[in-house]
Structure 1
Amino acid sequence: MNPAVYAILSMDHRLFDAKVMSMPIYNNEPYTLYRAWLKKEMMSTFGLTRCAFFQGCIRPGMELAFYQHVNEVMVPLWSHFPKVREVRVWTQENADIGEPAYPLVMVMRFDSQADIDQALLSPVREESKRKSGVLVDMFDGTIFHTVFNNVYCESGTDKSPISA
């Protein structure tokens, strides 16, 4: 097998074997080509995920009010962002390290960066920012956003064991 093709296949053979085998390799730059191909192919399949991380802690005695506001006010707003495909709200159950804590992570899935940009310029986003102030007042820490490129997704529980 061509070493360049093998390098690409070994990166994640579960998802990409069939597509990569037919991908041309030029100038012995498999990783660069792999990334370009991956972005083009996977963006339409999985899209982008924009997350809001609440890093820190909810002020003592405010936990119930904080999560009620999230469920009753924020989730309906987040669900009405233009072009959003999915909204998830995660709360931290436990972690393998004590700090940092993430009592809330909000996850929105979009098809493209253009869709994220449209959502961020929307009136719904402006209203969301105003109503998030209630959460900020009950929270000690940092809130930041980041966008992830979804490169692999698998669902289901019936998996074959990996044999050595």
Structure 2
Amino acid sequence: MGKFLSLILILSGLVAGGAMYYLQVYGFYEDVELQPGQDVMLMPLGGGEPLPIRYSDFEAIDADSSPIRYRACFSTELKPEQLAQLFVLSDQKQPRNAPGWFDCFDAEAIGQALAEGRAESFLSVKNISYGVDRIVAVTDAGRGYVWHELNDCGQKAYDGTVVGEECPPRPEAVEGN
């Protein structure tokens, strides 16, 4: 009887572990529906609302389970030098990893291109979700990548540090009034 119970416990652990792995890597992600003219936008130097840039071959994934799971890839004929004259540069030089099955987004290769000056990163949308900015990187070869990154307010909010007055109020605080 003891061997049978042990076998059940081991099998239950394997099934639970497999289910957790599947949910983290595959289960929560969905393809993002194409929204022409709105998928790739950059923040202009003078401020104001983000402006669209020309792009093609757009593909993206996202998950409702976290605001930083968004990843996208696209092509553009625009060069980073051209864009830098018109749009706000970002200091984010290392994108977050994407699931291995999302082949077009290789965070390590993108980060290396950014570090070597073969790509440039730009601010796309500030606070797309509380404490999260959308970042766009464009390479010299005409490939583009999009991901979400915690900004200063997001890092403070999620690590427990006092947020301070320079950050906007959290959405929960606004709804509670």
**Alignment TM class, shorter chain as reference:** under 0.3
Structure with a larger share of its residues in helix: 1
Structure number with greater CO (CA < 8 Å, separation at least 6) is: 1
Normalising by the residue count of structure 1, what TM-score does the alignment of the two structures yield? 0.26
Structure with more strand by fraction:
2
